[in-house]
Every structure is written in structure tokens, then in C-alpha cells.
């Protein structure tokens, strides 16, 4: 099972805190009217929910469901964070054989999106796992820090403190989902887990460094991998070559600058990684069907029409 959670809507957090269990205490049997997220800090917690048993160790997470009774099955020493919350748009879903591949495809799409578009908010649904393991040490520390911050905001009770608390919890949910997708897809992606991991690292690199000169030798040096081989794997995963993807990213940002600033075309091209203005114009027209100057005029005409009375 997994849960679809609308990321455009904040959770309604009632409680967020830490708990310590010591023998002979056993987690009591109960059925709540809210979801409860556990993130393990240390030790082992033994739980049963809806007849299924869970053994949770350090770094593990579980989302307890108000539809079901949960209870401890044996005493143990453990420490964990807990978050009691409701959410107006959360849906239960059953995993099918293609579930993780869909998550993988969605991640690849996100890494190539134009992040300056309002349309990006149309599919802001988390595919949140019933259980997850934060084996990535950095990811666990980030989630733990977010939960600590949420606890602090929930206690200070200044105006809108629940909003600040909920923002941290939502970010923690996103981090848990990302780690779950990474763990469940990369080891099985086309039989080349190391190369597949490099593809996503490369996508992150292109999005962060698109303004800089990037060549095949730059990529080989950065990722310690033969460029031709990485390019083949990249195209298989993403659907386009590395440099076509880089051009897409650069043109996305060029369109944003042309539409929101008064920078000259040459300056825009240089800002997004094109040293030659004519080559920038050629690539821009190939991607958009018009030159940068034509695109700029079209944007200005649209703004002028919006300002006209009537």
C-alpha cells in the first residue's frame, strides 16, 4: 500500500514530538482518528497493524492509518519521532507491478521540467510509502532536522505557528518519498544501477551548472565515466541525449529571462550558457519555432494586450 497526498495542501498537524519506550512497556492497542507518522531514531519497535507485523529499526518510517487498529507486539528499547496529522486530500492506493517504474518516470520528467511554469503545480501529489528506510545518512539527518524544527515551531505558539510547523512536516514527507523512490528503483533500473544513478546525478548537475561551459570531457571528468557509454544510458532513461537535454534546460531559462527581464538577446544567450549569439538564436528557433527577438516581441504584445482596458 501507498498513499497519494496532495502536496499543494498542507497537513493539519496536531502533535509532533519524540518518544522513548523501555521494557516492560509495550505500545498500546488503539485505533485513532488521524494519521501517525513514526520516524525511528534508535532501537527497535515491534508493531502490528491490520494483522501485518512490522519490525522498525533506526532510520525506518511507517505511516499508521486511522482505518486500522495498531498495537505493539513485544517490549523493546527504542526512540522515535511521531507526527499526528490529518490531511483533507489523502488517498489509499495499492501498488501494482509497474508502480515504481511510474515513480521513476515521474522523477525523470520533473528533472527536465520548466520550473518557471504554473503548470508544474498540477501534479504535486506525493506517492507516499507505507514504510520506508532512510538508509541515506544525509537524508535521515535532513528529515530529523525538519522534525526538530517542526517541534520548535509547534511549541512557540506565535501567530501562524501551525503553518510553520506544517511546512516542515510536508518537506519531511517529500524527503521520505524521494528516498523511497531512490531505494526501490535504482537497484533494478535496467540492470545498470550505478549508471542509472549517474544519470540522475547528471540531470541534477545540468540543472545546476547549465550557465557554465559543459563538454563531453567535462562530464567524463565530473562523473568518472566514459561519455559515450553514459550518453547511451542517459538517452535510454531520459529519452534524449545529454546535450539535447542541456539545450532544453538552457532554452527554458532563456525564455524565462526574455519574458521577465529587459536584457538584450546576446546577454540572455550568454547568461544561459551560449557564448555565440547566432548559435543561441539558431538553437532557440529549433526549440521554439521562432527567434529570440520574435519570442520577445510576442511576449511584449501579450503584456500590452493584457493592459488594454475593456
pLDDT digits (tens, 9 = 90+) for 185-232: 765 544 445 666 788 789 889 988 999 999 999 999 999 889 999 999
Integer CA distances (angstroms), 21 to 46, 55, 81, 141, 215, in order: 11, 14, 12, 21, 55
Residue 285 burial (CB < 10 Å; 0-12/13-18/19+)? middle
Strands, E assignment, 60-192: 60-64, 70-72, 78-86, 90-93, 125-129, 131-133
The residue ranking higher by pLDDT, 42 or 121, is 42
**Domain boundaries defined on the chain:** 1-188, 189-239, 245-307
CATH number of 1-188: 2.60.120.280
Q: Comparing 136 with 141, which gets the higher pLDDT? A: 141
171 exposure class (CB count in 10 Å sphere: 0-12, 13-18, 19+): middle
Do 34 and 12 touch, CB atoms closer than 8 A?
no
Cα atoms in the 13 Å half-sphere on the side-chain side of 214: 24
What's the confidence (pLDDT) of residue 192? Answer: 43
* pLDDT surpassing 50 at residue 310: no
Residue 155 bridge partners (DSSP): none
Q: Is 59 left (phi over 0), alpha (psi -120 to 50) or beta?
A: left
- Contact assessment for residue 26 and residue 141, using Cβ atoms and an 8 Å cutoff: no
Q: From CA 184, how far away is CA 172, in angstroms rounded? A: 18
Residue 68, all three cell numbers: 486500522
| pLDDT (average), residues 92-117 | 79
101 backbone dihedrals φ, ψ, rounded to 5°: -65, -35
3-state secondary structure of 19: strand
- Look up residue 88 and give its DSSP letter: S
- Count of beta carbons in the 10 Å neighbourhood of residue 281: 19
In this structure, of 104-118, 139-153, 220-234, the range with the lowest mean pLDDT score is: 104-118
In whole numbers, what is the pLDDT of the chain averaged over residues? 88
Domain 245-307 in this protein, CATH class: mainly alpha
Residue 23: pLDDT over 80: yes
pLDDT at 304: 46
Q: What is the pLDDT of residues 247-262, one digit of tens each?
A: 999 998 898 888 888 8
Query: Mean per-residue pLDDT for 262-285?
Result: 93
Mean pLDDT within 59-82:
95
Strand partners, 65: none
Quote the Cα angle for 44-49-55, to 5°. Answer: 20
Amino acid at each position: 500500500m501507498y498513499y497519494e497526498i496532495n502536496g499543494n495542501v498542507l497537513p493539519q498537524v496536531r502533535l509532533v514530538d519524540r518518544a522513548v519506550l523501555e521494557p516492560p512497556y509495550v505500545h498500546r492497542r488503539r485505533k485513532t482518528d488521524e494519521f501517525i507518522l513514526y520516524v525511528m531514531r534508535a532501537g527497535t519497535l515491534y508493531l502490528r497493524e491490520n494483522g501485518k507485523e512490522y519490525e522498525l529499526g533506526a532510520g525506518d518510517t511507517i505511516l499508521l492509518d486511522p482505518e486500522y487498529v495498531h498495537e505493539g507486539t513485544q517490549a523493546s528499547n527504542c526512540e522515535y519521532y511521531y507526527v499526528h496529522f490529518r490531511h483533507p486530500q489523502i488517498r489509499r492506493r495499492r501498488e501494482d507491478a509497474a508502480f515504481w517504474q511510474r515513480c521513476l518516470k515521474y522523477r525523470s520528467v520533473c528533472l527536465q521540467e520548466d520550473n518557471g511554469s504554473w503548470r508544474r503545480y498540477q501534479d504535486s501529489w506525493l506517492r507516499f510509502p507505507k514504510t520506508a528506510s532512510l538508509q541515506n545518512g544525509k537524508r535521515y539527518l535532513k528529515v530529523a532536522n525538519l522534525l526538530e524544527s517542526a517541534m520548535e515551531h509547534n511549541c512557540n505558539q506565535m501567530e501562524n505557528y501551525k503553518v510553520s510547523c506544517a511546512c516542515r512536516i510536508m518537506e519531511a514527507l517529500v524527503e521520505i518519498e524521494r528516498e523511497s523512490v531512490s531505494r526501490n528503483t535504482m537497484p533494478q533500473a535496467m540492470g545498470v544501477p550505478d549508471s542509472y544513478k549517474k544519470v540522475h546525478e547528471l540531470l541534477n548537475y545540468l540543472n545546476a551548472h547549465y550557465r557554465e561551459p559543459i563538454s563531453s570531457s567535462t562530464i567524463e571528468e565530473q562523473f568518472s565515466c566514459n561519455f559515450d557509454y553514459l550518453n547511451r544510458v542517459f538517452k535510454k532513461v531520459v529519452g534524449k541525449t545529454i546535450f539535447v537535454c542541456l539545450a532544453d534546460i538552457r532554452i527554458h531559462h532563456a525564455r524565462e529571462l526574455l519574458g521577465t527581464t529587459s536584457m538584450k538577446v546576446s546577454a540572455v544567450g550568454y547568461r544561459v550558457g551560449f557564448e555565440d549569439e547566432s548559435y543561441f538564436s539558431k538553437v532557440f528557433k529549433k526549440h521554439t519555432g521562432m527567434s529570440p527577438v520574435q519570442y520577445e516581441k510576442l511576449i511584449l504584445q501579450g503584456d500590452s494586450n493584457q493592459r488594454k482596458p475593456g
